[in-house]
A and B are shown apart, each in its own frame.
Chain A
Amino acid sequence: MSAELRHVGLNLGDTDEAAHRQAEQAVFGFWVFLMSDAVIFALLFATYGTMQHATFSAPSAANEFKIGSAFLETLILLTSSFTFGMTSISMKYGQARSRAGLLAWMTVTLSLGLAFIGLELHDFASMFGDAAYPTRSGFLSAFFALVPLHGLHVLAASLWLIVMMVQVLTVGLDARVKINILRLGLFWHFLDIVWIAIFSVVYLEGLIR
């Protein structure tokens, strides 16, 4: 297969044609999955939108959200998307001997992902410290369904990243490992986009009012 016929997103490097066909199918399937996952987030955003003023006597967005922490989380996640991009590039162009480069970028991405989760947990803990529990109001229910679901996704993605690092070390870069790193990349960037929406719709809007 000539280079220009290759699917733009399939950065598999120089592998055989069969692997490229397989990858096209696998990646398309993953896109379809992401679309249905996007529907889930869209509906949780809509639910949050209808409930954000249902605070009753419980703490409201303006009381609880901290712009500094949310902004830091955003920066970390955006940076991790960049480092995942570097992971993809070193998978494509790195030679077999420089698997170290690939693993290094994966490690950086993983630490950023875990740092994000840590900061988010810290946010939740400080909300709980103010007795802002999901059981207290519709608003807090909607918040604690939407934002932690994203966090759970990041946690799952981090676990997946660890599995892929182990596979790079044990199995090596065969077609399946490469395809799975491609899919994980899509997932990682997708979660980044969802976070942008959370930052804008949940945190910024909550603080403006």
Chain B
Amino acid sequence: MTPGSGLWQMLLGHLNAQALPFVRAYDHPTASEIIGAGAAAIVILGAAVLGGLITWYGKWRYLWKEWFTSLDPKRIGVMYLVIAFVMLSRALIEGVLMRVQQAAAVNSPGFIAPDHFAQLFSTHGSIMVFFMAMPFIAGIINYVMPLQIGSRDVAFPLLNSVSLWLTAGAAGLMMASLVIGRFSTGGWSGYPPYTELAFSPDVGPDYWIWAVTMGSIASTLSALNFVVTLFKLRAPGMSLMRMPLFCWTSLCTAILMIYAMPPLTVATALLALDRYLGFHFFTNDLGGNMMNYANLFWLFGHPEVYILILPAFGVYSEVVSTFSSKELYGYTSLTLATMAIAVLSFTVWVHHFFTMGQSADINGVFGIATMAIGVPTGVKIYDWIWTMFAGKVRFTVPMWYSLAFMVTFVLGGFTGIILAMPPLDFQVHNTVFLVAHFHNMLIGGMLYGLLAAYHYWFPKAFGFRLNERWGRIAFGCWVMGFYLAFMPLYVLGISGMTRRTQELFEPAFRPWLLVAAGGALVLLCALGSLFVQLWVSIRDRAQNLVYAGDPWDGRGLEWSISAPPPEYSFAVIPQVQGRDPFFDAKRRGTAYSRPHHYKDIEVPRNSSTGVVIGLAAALASFGLVWHIWWITIIAVTSIWAAVIGRSFMRNVHRTIPADEIRRTEESWLAAVAQAAPVDRPAETTSANQGLAKVPR
């Protein structure tokens, strides 16, 4: 059996020894190949060490029973965050590699080969968007949103698990591309005709297609779940206009996903038809038209920007209001602005390709629509500033992120307005000016928000606060690193430096590139600080417990239960009377009241269906990438079998007996009664046991 023979083809498809980066590095020991082999080794060693540790401590059963098969949105949320942090680490390192390469590659080939460099920017972008940002957002929404609306679960718990495991499977496929074969060199947007068979005959674009398709389907299903949850499962009295703003932004994001993810699925599916079955959607010949791809992709791609940023806007609204001890200013205008942004986001996609041949009038219309989005966004910034005005502002880590966001995001907004003008866009399109702009929005807008959310809700999820000092160090690094890494790119972009360039020939660029590379290293320190913070916080958790559940004098229902919350979340579904139900209840003295009686609570029983579907989908994709059809056939059949088999199951709920709930709740209420209320200035010290001192 030799590669290319019939039997080999049938069993192993296009796989061969050259697919392994170790073999390639052995054959051509260049710096570039060795880096590739090193990355593959890290993936393999990381997986082996992790698996070994779990086996050593005998935790497989625990993980399977308590986590992997869990349908509890709180657990699912945490698992999403684990995926997000793992993928963030990989993609950030890739970003640093690119910055260092460019700094080293002025009139010199540097240490990374062009093809490898192209894979780096493709994986960096694809991972950051689909496997860092999207899981991070899905995780936070899963954890927080049901608690905020006073619900024990999302509408479709099993579907939730399917979404998680499809995302996990897709992320796994991204990791597999590092070890077996190679990734696409077509960028995160995968533009044909370059990604067609004619120009990219390797497996790279196939990895991209299937990973992105799985992620896209997972996001669509999550969004469906969130929308139904928000419309149908709100606690009594929680009208739409009483929802916390994070729920509003989650709702708008979910609606955007329902309409914006299908275009991506169509784009990748049609590209797959071209590549696998010889169709002519985006090829150069026989009537293919790549402009269709550009339109389909950006019909997804632009709303995607708002899918990413809106939840962050929701987080800032919660954080600013809580840490200013003030009602959110302009709640109605914030909801309207959110809806306006959601609607407008579907009217601007052409601004991603102003230079691709449509008439000046069309460009004008889309340019004006783009600038119009600045208006509702500006409204929001003012609302947050007015919320802080005359409030008792406390400079905690989430608040620092919010403040840094307001400054940084406005700056990014200005450069966005510049890019929205077609004549100016013609000058700077495809330069690093654009790269600087969207990193300005995504780091300074989305990532700061997600990190603020992580710090803000972490004590709720795990029962102890994160270390404040390391949090500030990480914050400082994220902000400084961002400015150092991306402000030079604005200058370079205006000077004409094209994006995605592996080697440069303008010596005047060198100082700016060196600063940018330094900034990238600071960003790496920021990530490192986050991990140190996590480690220090877990080590010192005994001093920072907030079991009573309300470390920040919170406003929404999520703070009205213990930290970490019990599996059933709410012993009794709360009755909501206003916009800040828990904050008001504390002031009225009705918080922490003992229910009249406890009832049994039904929760969904664990299920392995989600894990099976996610794993099978990943295998099916792997088979498709390497043309190993038997794997794909078996995997797809198992997906259908799992779905149909599950539909016959009837014993899908489990009852938590009232007695057990009574015990849990009573011990929590006893702890609340014992806890010493903490003043706001002391909330970041060990005195904080999760009970806020409130003026009665």
Contact = CB atoms under 8 A, between A and B. Distances in A.
Interface string B627-647: 000000000000000001001
Contact of B647 (A28, A29, A167): A167
B278 A135 contact: yes
A43 B281 contact: no
B259 interface: yes
Interface string A136-147: 111101101100
B673 interface: no
Interface stretch (B52-60, B220-228, B465-473): B220-228
B232 interface: yes
Interface in A42-79: 43-44, 47, 50-51, 54-56, 58
A39 B263 contact: yes
B265 interface: yes
Contacts of B296: 43, 47
A54 B155 CA distance: 45
The size bracket of the interface on A is 35 or more
B270 A145 contact: yes
Given A24-B232, A35-B258, A136 B220 contact: no
A50 B156 contact: no
A56 B286 contact: yes
A51 B292 CA distance: 9
A141 B296 CA distance: 16
B199 interface: no
B280 A135 contact: yes
Given A29-B224, A29-B228, A141-B281, A36 B263 contact: no
Contacts of B281: 47, 51, 138, 141-142, 145
Nearest to A180: B647
Contact of A171 (B155, B156, B233, B648): B648
B279 A134 contact: yes
A145 B273 contact: yes
B155 to A, nearest CB: 5
A40 interface: yes
B155 A50 contact: no
Given A35-B258, A39-B259, A138 B228 contact: no
Nearest to A50: B292
B231 interface: yes
Contact of A32 (B258, B262, B278): B258
A55 B287 contact: yes
B376 to A, nearest CB: 24
Contact of B228 (A28, A40, A47, A56): A28
A179 B299 CA distance: 34
A135 B279 contact: yes
Interface in A152-171: 163, 167, 170-171
Interface string B251-287: 0000000110111011001100110011111000011
A47 B296 CA distance: 9
Interface in B152-181: 155-156
Given A32-B227, A171-B650, A176-B650, A144 B279 contact: yes
Given A36-B259, A176-B650, A135 B277 contact: yes
A56 B280 CA distance: 12
B232 A25 contact: yes
B287 A138 contact: yes
A43 B232 CA distance: 29
A36 B228 contact: no
A35 B258 CA distance: 8
B288 interface: yes
B232 A137 contact: no
B602 to A, nearest CB: 10
Contact of B286 (A39, A137, A171): A137
Contacts of A93: none
B274 to A, nearest CB: 8
A36 B262 contact: yes
A174 interface: yes
B647 A36 contact: no
- Among the interface residues A44, A141, A163, which one has the most CB atoms of the partner chain B within 10 A? A141
B633 to A, nearest CB: 16
A42 to B, nearest CB: 9
A22 B220 CA distance: 22
B415 interface: no
A128 interface: no
B155 A141 contact: no
Max chain B Cβ within 10 angstroms of own Cβ: one of A28, A36, A56, A170: A36
Contact of A43 (B156, B266, B289): B266
A36 B269 CA distance: 15
A131 to B, nearest CB: 14
Given A36-B259, A135-B279, A167-B648, A51 B289 contact: yes
B648 A25 contact: no
A82 interface: no
Contacts of B262: 36-37, 39-40, 43
Nearest to B220: A36
A137 B650 contact: no
A44 B266 contact: yes
B648 A33 contact: no
Interface string A2-44: 0000000000000000000000110011001101110110011
A58 B280 CA distance: 12
A209 to B, nearest CB: 16
A174 B289 contact: no
B44 to A, nearest CB: 38
Contacts of A136: 280, 286
Nearest to B299: A43
A43 B263 contact: yes
Contact of A145 (B227, B279, B644): B279
Given A54-B289, A141-B274, 18 more contacts: A28-B228, A28-B231, A32-B224, A36-B259, A39-B258, A43-B296, A47-B296, A51-B281, A51-B287, A54-B280, A54-B287, A135-B277, A137-B287, A138-B280, A138-B281, A141-B280, A167-B647, A176-B647
Closest 7 CB pairs of A and B: A138-B287, A54-B287, A39-B262, A141-B279, A135-B278, A29-B228, A40-B262
